[in-house]
Amino acid sequence: MAKDLFHDVVKNALIKDGWQITDDPFFLKVGGVEFFIDLGAEKLIAAERNGQRIAVEIKSFINPSSITDFHLAIGQFINYRVALKVKDPERQLFLAVPDTTYQRFFHKDFPQMVIQYYQLKLL
Environment class of residue 105 by beta-carbon count within 10 Å: exposed (0-12), middle (13-18) or buried (19+)? middle
pLDDT tens digit string along 33-44? 998 888 777 654
Query: Measured between alpha carbons, how far is 82 from 91 in angstroms, rounded to an integer?
Result: 12
The identity of residue 11, as a single letter, is: K
Q: What's the whole-model pTM score?
A: 0.82
Q: Could you tell me the residue ranges of all domains in the chain?
A: 1-51+77-98
94 bridge partner residues: 56
pLDDT tens digit string along 104-114? 999 999 999 99
1-51+77-98 is classed in which CATH architecture? 3-Layer(aba) Sandwich (3.40)
